[in-house]
């Protein structure tokens, strides 16, 4: 009984009430405006210069790569010209040592190598033809340029973008730490390594994964509605949304298409409330942050995304293990354990190592509703070498994981709800849904994550249960890759037509679908 009571006391610290949600939304709206006014604020609100999306009739073969948090993905996308596409895909885990490499080139040469392997495996004809041409044509100028793959580079870290394929890294997140790369143009870093391998590839477009998700979802989403927001809830978290240019008060460098009056903004909401005005802060959050590679930064992300949730659960469990008054994963004798055994934790268990508890275990815990929690106990053994956990232990673990997951979902609703309110779309006199495209392991695999988000959205003043029903959150699987290919295509078309200014070119390729992504009304919705 003591264990159940103690678990209740601890999990209560992760409650995030309706009142908290509403306070969070107000603060999120405030920090959004602040970020639109000036640089250097916690919500970066980065203008992406993307003011439109292609209309689905384009054809061609494009390459897209995606450097996310955990994996590097390479894919080729054949756009069929009728809004459909075919995707070939490969994925490799990023070696941990490269995430904290000394030189940027250590990481980027690895990425270029993966592109080479992918081309050799899936596009050998194209690749070989290119090598033959190289050997037979005496000058590089002699190559037929259309034989070169246009590559869309999804780079899922905060970048100050200066053009379609130019942008400097502002800071690393998600456990990466290669100071040498900060302030450098990440497209140039990748192109250098591609050129070193003499690959027929040109980095044509740079895009954040949330922008890619937004583009891809808008391209494929059902109905006439355009997508308002693309969001990632995976290793990291972030969102990009369609904003009125008139609301962007800080200067936008360079020229851009003004005809739509809209621009996609990469919020970088992982850094929302770094100043800790309203974010919940348990002793576990504090410990996680202090021991991270970037203390004080990405404070929202550290409470919401997959990379961190498992670690919060781990810190809670380790704390409970230290408490002599309760017997978590500990039996005095076999009579205390419903399996008539005694629990053992292997000394090398991930439970005793930073980042040793993978968030996927939380999804398993949330999904297991069997009477004896057999999946949880099996997984505790498999992933954490905790042998013969009792039913009580499994229940305590499930409750802790649930509390941490639920708080994350409700915090996610703060970001989504604030952006819906900011768009003013709820004031539209239409039945059309407000479309949000999401991707990432958490939202895809954590059971009921979306349901918990909806529940919190319904509690937001200015949205309510009726407003929440109008919000459609749909999965945009691999959206970031498809979105990157779409932007690479826009860039390639622009190049073909000799358009130097990407932004002006967009003017002619923008689609109607996109322009109604935001409400007609100029009145921002406010809540009191
Ligand atoms: C990065 C964002 C990215 C998000 C999701 C965050 O850590 O700062 O740029 O969009 O993770 O991958």
Q: How many CB atoms lie within 10 A of CB 498?
A: 7
Percent of the chain's residues with pLDDT above 70: 85
Mean pLDDT of 222-249: 89
What is the CA(241)–ligand 1 centre distance, in A? 14
The DSSP bridge partners found for residue 78 are 61, 86
Task: Please name the residue whose Cα sits nearest to atom 1 of ligand 1.
Answer: 157
- What pLDDT score was predicted for residue 479? 78
Q: Residue 336: pLDDT band by 50, 70, 90 thresholds? A: confident
Instruction: Please say if the pLDDT value at position 139 is more than 70.
Output: no
Give the per-residue pLDDT at 136.
56
DSSP states of 31-90 = HHHHHHH-SSSSS--EE--------S--EEEEEEEEE-SSEEEEEEEEEESSS-EEEEEE
Q: How many helices (H) and strands (E) does the chain have?
A: 19, 15
Alpha carbons 25 and 526: distance in angstroms, whole number: 11
Which tokens sit at 62?
Answer: 């494009």
The more confident residue out of 113 and 330 is 113
Site residues for ligand 1, CB cut-off 6 Å: 68-69, 156-158, 173-174, 208-210, 232, 234, 236-238, 268, 270, 301
- With contact defined as beta carbons under 8 Å apart, do 34 and 422 qualify? no
* Residue 22 reports pLDDT greater than 50: yes
Catalytic site residue from 20, 66, 209, 368: 209
Mean predicted lDDT score pLDDT of the chain:
86
For residue 37, the CA-to-ligand 1 centroid distance in Å is: 22
The confidence score (pLDDT) of residue 50 equals 78
CA dist 69 and 173 (Å) reads 8
Binned at pLDDT 50, 70 and 90, residue 478 comes out as: confident
Atom of ligand 1 nearest to the CA of 158: 9
358 phi/psi in degrees, rounded to 5: -75, 140
Q: Cα(94) to centroid of ligand 1, in Å? A: 16
Buried b (16+ CB within 10 A) or exposed e, 15-24: ebeeebbbeb
Judge whether residue 138 has pLDDT over 60: no
What is the arithmetic mean of pLDDT over 376-392?
94
Establish whether 285 is a catalytic residue.
no
Q: Which of 156, 327, 423, 480 is catalytic?
A: 156
The whole-number pLDDT of residue 227 equals 86
Collect all residues with Cβ–Cβ distance below 8 Å to 357 and sequence separation of at least 6. 310, 311, 313, 314, 317, 350, 351, 383, 384
Say yes or no to pLDDT of 442 above 90: yes
User: DSSP readout, 113-181?
Assistant: HHHHHHHHHH-HHHHHHHHHHHHH-SSGGGS-GGGSEEEEEEE-S-EEEEETTEEEE----TT---GGG
The model's pLDDT over 100-136, given as tens digits with 9 standing for 90+, comes to: 999 999 999 999 999 999 999 998 877 777 766 665 5
The residue behind tokens 């000058």 is: 139
Pick the closest to residue 464 from 25, 83, 4 (CA basis).
25
Residue nearest ligand 1's atom 6 by CA: 236
How far, in Å, CA of 474 to CA of 357, rounded?
A: 28
Ligand 1 atom nearest residue 271's Cα: 8
Give the global pTM.
0.85
156 is catalytic: yes
Phi, psi torsion values for 287, nearest 5 degrees = -65, -45
Predicted confidence at residue 369, as pLDDT, reads 92
Name every residue whose Cβ is closer than 8 Å to that of residue 118 and which is 6 or more positions away in sequence.
74, 76, 90
> 217 catalytic, yes or no?
no
Q: Give the separation between CA 199 and CA 218, rounded to whole angstroms.
A: 32
pLDDT above 90: percentage of residues in the chain: 65
Does residue 84 have a pLDDT over 60? Answer: yes
Contact between 486 and 506 (Cβ < 8 Å) = no
Which amino acid residue places its CA nearest to atom 11 of ligand 1? 236
């Amino acid at each position: 009984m003591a264990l159940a009571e103690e678990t209740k006391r601890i999990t209560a610290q992760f409650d995030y009430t309706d009142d908290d949600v509403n306070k969070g939304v107000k603060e999120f709206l405030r920090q959004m405006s602040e970020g639109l006014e000036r640089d250097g604020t916690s919500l970066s609100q980065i203008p992406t210069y993307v003011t439109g999306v292609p209309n689905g009739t384009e054809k061609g073969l494009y390459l897209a790569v995606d450097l996310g948090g955990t994996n590097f993905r390479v894919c080729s996308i054949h756009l069929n010209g009728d809004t459909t596409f075919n995707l070939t895909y490969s994925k490799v885990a990023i070696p941990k040592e490269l995430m904290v490499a000394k030189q940027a080139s250590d990481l980027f040469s690895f990425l270029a190598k993966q592109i080479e392997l992918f081309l050799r495996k899936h596009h050998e004809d194209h690749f070989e033809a290119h090598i033959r041409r190289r050997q037979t044509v005496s000058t590089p100028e002699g190559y037929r340029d259309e034989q070169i793959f246009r590559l869309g580079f999804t780079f899922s870290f905060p970048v100050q973008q200066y053009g379609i394929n130019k942008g400097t890294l502002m800071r690393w997140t998600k456990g990466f730490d290669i100071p040498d790369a900060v302030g450098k143009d990440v497209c140039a870093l990748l192109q250098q390594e591609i050129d070193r391998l003499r690959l027929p590839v040109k980095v044509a477009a740079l895009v954040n994964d949330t922008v890619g998700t937004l583009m891809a979802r808008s391209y494929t989403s059902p109905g006439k509605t355009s997508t308002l927001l693309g969001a990632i809830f995976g290793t990291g978290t972030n969102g990009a949304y369609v904003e009125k240019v008139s609301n962007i008060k800080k200067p936008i460098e360079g020229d851009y298409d003004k005809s739509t009056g809209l621009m996609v903004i990469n919020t970088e909401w992982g850094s929302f409330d770094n100043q800790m005005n309203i974010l919940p802060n348990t002793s576990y959050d504090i410990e996680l942050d202090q021991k991270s590679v970037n203390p004080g930064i990405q404070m929202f992300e550290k409470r919401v995304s997959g990379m961190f949730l498992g670690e919060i659960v781990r810190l809670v469990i380790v704390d409970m293990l230290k408490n002599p008054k309760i017997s978590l994963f500990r039996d005095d004798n076999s009579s205390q354990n419903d399996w008539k055994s005694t629990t053992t934790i292997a000394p090398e268990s991930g439970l005793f190592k930073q980042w040793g508890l993978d968030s996927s275990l939380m999804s398993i815990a949330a999904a297991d509703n069997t009477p004896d929690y057999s999946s949880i106990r099996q997984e505790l053994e498999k992933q954490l070498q905790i042998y013969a956990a009792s039913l009580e232990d499994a229940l305590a673990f499930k409750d802790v994981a649930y509390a941490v997951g639920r708080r994350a979902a409700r915090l996610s609703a703060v970001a989504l709800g604030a952006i819906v309110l900011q768009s003013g779309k709820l004031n539209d006199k239409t039945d059309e849904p407000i479309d949000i495209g999401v991707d990432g392991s958490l939202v895809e695999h954590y059971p009921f994550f979306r349901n918990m988000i909806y529940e919190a959205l319904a509690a937001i003043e200015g949205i309510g249960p009726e407003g929440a029903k109008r919000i459609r959150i749909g999965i945009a699987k691999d959206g970031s890759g498809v979105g990157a290919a779409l932007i690479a295509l826009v860039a390639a078309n622009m190049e073909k037509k000799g358009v130097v200014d990407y932004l002006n070119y967009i003017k002619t390729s923008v689609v109607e679908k996109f322009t109604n992504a935001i409400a007609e009304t100029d009145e921002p919705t406010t809540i009191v």
